[in-house]
């Protein structure tokens, strides 16, 4: 070794550098070959092990899936309610997990998923005896009360009229949702106004309903005195159009909505009539309805009374019209009287019942915010043209035909709503 060192020292500097490089390359080669051999021999592999909870996990995955079982809808509903009860108990001990499971369940139609999710997370609870005891007590309490086979709690929703109307409205859900988007109003509120008017029409002319509307599940379109599926009067529609254009109006909805109801031609009266009395496409009826709701809400809000969280009052004000909308601190639900199977309701109450019933929530979900501000940019010409293209070429009654009398058979016409006091009942505290 000493001789090698002496030989190395005695060499010229350039030879020393070459020798050092040679040694470094040799060491690097040995390192690479050693690492490769270490890997090939399996020293780097993690052999793993069987999880101690594998049987528990297997039991969760193998829970019987009831989605495609032979259970009736009533049995499935009872099962889901029982699961929610267990989830309520779960929330007393593990609120974070309960919230996550509840939110996830809204996006899943498998009724056993809640049970699976709860059991999966309970793997870490180490058999909490307090939770187990509480859950069992709650489930026992619920099971002690048998399920009552009662009809719908809201009486008018037990009628054949409502069953037919639900189907008819569902057919128009795309138009109602589009009207909500265009007017910045929750579509469910527009649908509630539609339901109030249609229930009134179905029950005021039951023979027509039985012969025509009920069997084919279609909406009734008015063409005399009040127009369209929502019974909007001509002067009300004109007021809506004026409020859209007037930034100084207490009803002004904002720049975004100024051109929402622009006309294509010069004859606004005929075009307005054709928009509303359209048997094939009801979009304009829904747009006018959305505007009335939005404009009325803004009128009250600017007066210091925010009724955006009072759909019952907004439905009442839609029914009674702009002339009776006078902001005040204590508005009340009311409007036209509607008789259904011997029960008398007000227009506002019918809309309120539907709005909070959960009916048709799959097509008209609840918005977090019922109204969308119109402070954004104005609609483009293309957007306006797309709206105008929705008016169909269906045959409509001659405008003003309600005033044409047959000499041989004079028929009495009865006005409907939006300012027609003949069929409305008000109280001193009502919202108008």
Residues 6+ apart with CB under 8 A from 4: none
| Whether the Cβ atoms of residue 26 and residue 34 lie closer than 8 Å to each other | no
What separation in angstroms does the CA of 153 have from each of 147, 148, 159, 185, 250?
14, 12, 12, 28, 39
Q: With left for phi above 0 and alpha for psi between -120 and 50, is residue 67 left, alpha or beta?
A: alpha
pLDDT band for 410, please (50, 70, 90 cuts): very low
| Whether the Cβ atoms of residue 79 and residue 111 lie closer than 8 Å to each other | yes
pLDDT band for 423, please (50, 70, 90 cuts): very low
Is pLDDT larger for residue 351 or for residue 26?
351
Per-residue pLDDT at 5 exceeds 80? no
Report the percentage of the chain scoring pLDDT > 70: 78
CA distance 163 to 351: 16
pLDDT-wise least confident of 11-20, 121-130, 251-260, 381-390: 11-20
Per-residue pLDDT at 193 exceeds 60? yes
Residue-averaged pLDDT of the chain: 81
Residues 6+ apart with CB under 8 A from 293: 183, 185, 189, 190, 193, 314, 318
pLDDT, position 353: 96
Residues 6+ apart with CB under 8 A from 269: 234, 399
Nearest in space to 260 (alpha carbons), one of 286, 297, 298 = 286
Per-residue pLDDT at 31 exceeds 90? no
pLDDT, position 412: 42
Per-residue pLDDT at 409 exceeds 90? no
Report the percentage of the chain scoring pLDDT > 90: 45
Per-residue pLDDT at 210 exceeds 70? no
The number of residues in the chain equals: 432
pLDDT, position 247: 96
Kindly report, residue by residue over 323-339, the tens digit of the pLDDT: 999 999 999 999 999 98
**Residue 226 parent element (H or E):** strand 226-228
Q: Helices marked H in 303-424 — which ranges?
A: 311-320, 347-357, 381-388
Query: Which whole number is the average pLDDT over 351-365?
Result: 95
Extract the tokens encoding 117: 């999710």
The SS3 call for residue 210 is helix
Per-residue pLDDT at 417 exceeds 50? no
Kindly report, residue by residue over 246-299, the tens digit of the pLDDT: 999 999 999 999 999 999 999 999 999 999 999 899 999 999 999 999 999 999
CA distance 18 to 27: 14
């Amino acid at each position: 070794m000493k001789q090698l060192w002496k030989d190395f020292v005695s060499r010229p500097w350039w030879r020393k550098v070459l020798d050092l490089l040679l040694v470094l390359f040799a060491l690097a080669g040995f390192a690479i070959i050693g690492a490769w051999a270490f890997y090939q021999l399996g020293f780097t592999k993690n052999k793993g092990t069987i999880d101690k909870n594998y049987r528990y996990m297997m039991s969760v995955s193998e829970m019987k899936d009831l989605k495609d079982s032979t259970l009736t809808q009533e049995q499935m509903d009872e099962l889901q309610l029982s699961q929610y009860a267990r989830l309520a108990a779960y929330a007393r001990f593990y609120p974070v997990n309960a919230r996550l499971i509840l939110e996830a369940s809204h996006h899943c139609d498998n009724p056993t998923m809640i049970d699976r999710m709860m059991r999966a997370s309970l793997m870490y609870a180490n058999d909490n005896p307090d939770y187990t005891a509480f859950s069992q007590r709650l489930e026992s309490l619920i099971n002690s009360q048998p399920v009552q086979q009662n009809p719908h709690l809201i009486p008018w929703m037990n009628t054949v009229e409502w069953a037919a109307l639900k189907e008819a409205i569902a057919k128009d859900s795309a138009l109602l949702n589009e009207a909500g988007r265009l007017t910045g109003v929750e579509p469910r509120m527009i649908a509630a106004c539609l339901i109030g008017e249609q229930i009134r029409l179905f029950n005021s002319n039951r023979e027509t309903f039985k012969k025509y509307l009920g069997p084919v599940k279609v909406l009734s379109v008015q063409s005399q005195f009040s127009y369209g599926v929502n019974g909007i009067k001509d002067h009300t529609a004109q007021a809506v159009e004026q409020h859209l254009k007037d930034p100084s109006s207490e009803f002004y909805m904002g720049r975004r909505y100024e051109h929402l109801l622009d006309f294509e031609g010069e004859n606004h009266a005929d075009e307005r009539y054709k928009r509303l009395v359209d048997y094939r496409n009801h979009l304009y009826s829904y747009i006018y309805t959305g505007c009335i709701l939005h404009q009325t809400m803004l009128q009250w809000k600017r007066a210091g009374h925010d009724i955006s969280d009072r759909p019952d009052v907004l439905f009442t004000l839609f029914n009674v019209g702009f002339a009776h909308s006078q902001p005040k601190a204590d508005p009340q639900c009311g409007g036209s009287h509607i008789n259904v199977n011997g029960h008398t309701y007000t227009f506002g109450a019918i809309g309120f019942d539907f709005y909070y019933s959960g009916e048709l929530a799959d097509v008209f979900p609840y918005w977090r915010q019922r109204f969308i501000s119109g402070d954004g940019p104005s609609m483009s010409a293309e957007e306006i043209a797309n709206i105008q293209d929705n008016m169909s070429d269906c045959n409509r009654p001659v405008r003003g035909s309600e005033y044409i009398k047959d000499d041989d058979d004079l028929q009495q016409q009865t006005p409907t709503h939006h300012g027609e006091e003949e069929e409305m009942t008000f109280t001193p505290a009502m919202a108008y």
